[in-house]
Amino acid sequence: MPDGQFQPDNADDAATRIKPSRYNILVPIAGGRHLAYNTVSQSFSIWDRDDMALWTDLATDGSVPFTAAYRGFVQGGYVLNADADELEVVRARYDAARHNDSHMMLTIAPTLSCNFGCHYCFQGLDKPLTKMTPKVRAATKAFVLDRLKGKKSFHLTWYGGEPLMDQEAIWNISADAIRHCEAHGIKYTSMMISNGYKMTVPVAEKLKQAQVSRVQITIDGDEEAHDSRRHLTSGRGTFHKIIDNIKAVTARKLLSVSVRVNIDGQNEAEALALLDILQESGLGIKNGVSVYFAPVESVAENAGGCDSCLSKTDYGETESRLHQVAFEKGLMAMPRMPRFLGLCTAVKPNSYVVVPNGDLHKCWDTVMDSSLRVGSVMGNTRKKDAGTEKMWNDWSPFDNPVCSSCQLLPACGGACAFKFVHNDYASGESGKLPCPSLKFNMAEQLFLRAKARGFVTDDDWDQKNSPTVKDGGMLTGSRHTLDSVGAVHHALMGLSHGVHS
């Protein structure tokens, strides 16, 4: 039973009063029924007219004495003690997850060089060719081993640039980290972000030895669409080689592959065509290949990707359509709601990103700008570093009214902290505003989940009342605006000012 709830010993105990959870999402569907989801307990139900009548009485009164009729609502976490402070319950859970001192996360970019020339790349198109020197590798390993003292688990992500352009660093650092973790009883896990071009069977075999279990590879549609966006720096296409590599490494069960598809206003049809190609190639969840979608956003001044960026609302609608097809083709598991989506490397005290020169960052999106670093494994710290890290550490979704009053807070956790901390670095609505796609397609995602479980059919969708975004507002409540995010950013700048000086 989630914190802040209860299960009375006496079902007729009229002394106990109950109130609705502030984190219920109710989606109207045909026949006067509703899909009901609670973002704290993650309970998911279908309520009929009788359930809704009982619920309406409770919601109207604000709180009522507990009776047996409400037992199902209690068990699902849809109601709680009338005197419970549910926001504080969520805050305590968030803080426990964010400040878990038993776990360390590290992302290493052994090089920021890349063999691709993607026009929308947030790192820009003019990337340095630098690789980690032996001295930086040694300092990185020393940093890791020092920070692992007292830890129970360690997750290492390989990133770039294209990390496979500096394989020596991967094998060298992985071997020492694995050896240390095994000697000290620390659970070790690892994954990689790669463009997939160099992900051959021999390389995948070495990655398996390095305990890299999953690789994220981006494919942006069918051959024509992908090769126009994600080609080699020479201009040559990459689509077929990537598909062949995925088929080869998954057939040998060397790695699981998560295919990321970047979506803008120009490639939905091509993304659908890619799903057909993957299915026809025999790829899917059954053999370790899954698909997920992400919006193209502009978070770097020298990237050219925002000309065709979708608005938050339009992307949410597009993503819903793509999710349904991907699920039906066996390329995506049944949709599940996240818990504290925004708890990434950037906001966890025990988590950092290391770049080739040894600089430490908190976020993947800042690695190309040394002025946004928070330190260095080489020890050459700057006065500004502490202030920058303080901004990350001080940020909290509970310190602004939009996040703290949102029904999705337990699922979202503030989403992308970068868009608050370095809001002046991004551009455009998609780049500056943090609310995740779930804010704009929650109803559609819940309906797909209900349909996957056989609870509803397409006929149960009420196009007038069911959508997340409709005339009169959003089912999920208020969203962030440029002004609200900007206010948080300026407050963080003020808090860190004394450290900078």
191 pLDDT more than 80: yes
Non-local (6+) Cβ contacts of 156 within 8 A are 106, 107, 108, 174, 177, 188, 189, 190
413 pLDDT more than 50: yes
pLDDT band at 124; cut points 50, 70, 90: low
4 pLDDT more than 50: no
For residue 70, give both structure tokens. 């409400």
Residue ranges of the domains in the chain? 17-84, 195-335, 387-500
- Indicate the residue type of 485: V
User: DSSP assignment, residue 309?
Assistant: P
pLDDT of residue 299: 59
248 pLDDT more than 90: yes
pLDDT of residue 296: 86
430 pLDDT more than 90: no
Instruction: Tell me the average pLDDT across 127-155.
Output: 93
Instruction: Tell me the average pLDDT across 221-233.
Output: 91
pLDDT of residue 335: 75
Give the separation between CA 438 and CA 469, rounded to whole angstroms: 11
The position carrying tokens 């969708």 is 461
- Grouping H, G, I as helix, E, B as strand and the rest as coil, residue 218 is strand
Beta bridge partners of 112: none
Whose CA is closest to 162, among 132, 197, 133, 138?
197
The b/e string for 281-313 (b: 16+ C-beta within 10 A; e otherwise) is: eebbbeebbbbebebbbbbbeebebbeebbebb
- Do 219 and 239 form a contact (C-beta atoms < 8 A)? yes
Instruction: Tell me the average pLDDT across 204-232.
Output: 95
Instruction: Tell me the average pLDDT across 250-274.
Output: 95
The b/e string for 395-423 (b: 16+ C-beta within 10 A; e otherwise) is: bbbeebebbeebbbbbbbbbbbbbbbbbb
240 pLDDT more than 50: yes
Edge-to-edge strand list for the sheet holding 17-20: 64-65, 17-20, 79-81
Mean pLDDT of the chain, nearest integer: 90
Q: What is the pLDDT of residues 298-333, one digit of tens each?
A: 655 444 556 778 899 999 999 999 999 999 999 999
Which of 100-114, 125-139, 420-434 ranks highest by mean pLDDT?
100-114
Instruction: Tell me the average pLDDT across 470-485.
Output: 86
pLDDT of residue 233: 86
Which of 140-149, 232-241, 297-306 ranks highest by mean pLDDT?
140-149
pLDDT of residue 270: 96
Instruction: Tell me the average pLDDT across 471-490.
Output: 87
pLDDT of residue 344: 85
Lowest mean pLDDT among 124-128, 171-175, 184-188: 124-128
7 pLDDT more than 70: no
- Domain 195-335, CATH: 3.20.20.70
pLDDT band at 127; cut points 50, 70, 90: low
pLDDT band at 1; cut points 50, 70, 90: very low
492 pLDDT more than 70: yes
Instruction: Tell me the average pLDDT across 384-395.
Output: 93
500 pLDDT more than 60: no
Instruction: Tell me the average pLDDT across 256-272.
Output: 95
**Which percentage of the chain shows pLDDT scores above 90?**
71
498 pLDDT more than 60: no
pLDDT of residue 383: 83
